[in-house]
């Protein structure tokens, strides 16, 4: 049974770039299946709840209870870096973290230009920006 890879959630302003999996594979050339972040989250939540129920009951986890067949690297990354809608800080961190301490290269330069452009947009449209910030629903979730 092929391993499924998790499609990396993109930053909302970067939807024009090629998509990748959480483990870094180009989405166009992924061997096996792919699942969305939402599908991963559902499978991981269900599996974790099942494992915890056995742990709470101090029972051995039956051999039939297996972790969903999802790439280990994808699982780790998706578990630590939720989607933009769930936690934008962590999602942005995921993208910025790939550049390391000394960002270099075309993608790092593009990210710098994007962040400067967003800051400039906020400055140029201060009232509209402040109104948007005030009306944002705090759907932010710590997980
Ligand atoms: Zn993967």
Model pLDDT for residues 36-68, shown as the tens digit of each residue: 988 999 999 999 999 899 889 888 888 787 888
Using an 8 Å Cβ cutoff, are 108 and 99 in contact? Answer: yes
Asked if residue 140 is part of any domain, the answer here is no
Into how many domains does the chain fold? 1
What is the crossing angle of helices 126-135 and 106-124, to 10°?
100
Asked if residue 141 is part of any domain, the answer here is no
Asked if residue 33 is part of any domain, the answer here is yes
Asked if residue 91 is part of any domain, the answer here is yes
Q: How far is the CA of 97 from the centre of ligand 1 (A)?
A: 18
pLDDT tens digits for 7-41? 998 899 998 888 899 999 999 889 889 999 889 99
Q: How far is the CA of 1 from the centre of ligand 1 (A)?
A: 15
What pLDDT score does 128 carry? Answer: 96
Asked if residue 103 is part of any domain, the answer here is yes
Q: How far is the CA of 28 from the centre of ligand 1 (A)?
A: 13
Q: How far is the CA of 74 from the centre of ligand 1 (A)?
A: 4
A 10 A CB-CB count for 72 gives 10
User: Residue 20: exposed, middle, or buried by beta-carbon count in 10 A (0-12, 13-18, 19+)?
Assistant: middle
Domain assignment of residue 34, given as a range? 5-135
The contacts of residue 68 (CB under 8 Å, 6+ apart) are 4, 43, 44, 47
Q: What is the pTM of this model?
A: 0.76
Asked if residue 143 is part of any domain, the answer here is no
Q: How far is the CA of 20 from the centre of ligand 1 (A)?
A: 9
Q: How far is the CA of 23 from the centre of ligand 1 (A)?
A: 4
């Amino acid at each position: 049974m092929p391993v499924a890879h998790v499609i990396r959630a993109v930053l909302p302003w970067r939807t024009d770039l090629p998509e990748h999996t959480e483990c870094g594979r180009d989405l166009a050339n992924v061997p096996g299946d792919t699942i969305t972040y939402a599908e991963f989250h559902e499978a991981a939540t269900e599996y974790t709840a099942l494992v915890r129920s056995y742990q709470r009951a101090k029972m051995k986890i039956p051999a039939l209870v297996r972790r969903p067949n999802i790439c280990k690297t994808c699982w780790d990354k998706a578990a630590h870096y939720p989607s933009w809608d769930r936690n934008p800080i962590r999602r942005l961190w995921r993208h910025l973290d790939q550049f390391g301490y000394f960002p270099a290269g075309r993608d790092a330069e593009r990210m710098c230009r994007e962040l400067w452009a967003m800051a400039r947009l906020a400055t140029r449209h201060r009232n509209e920006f402040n109104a948007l910030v005030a009306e944002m629903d705090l759907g932010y979730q710590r997980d």
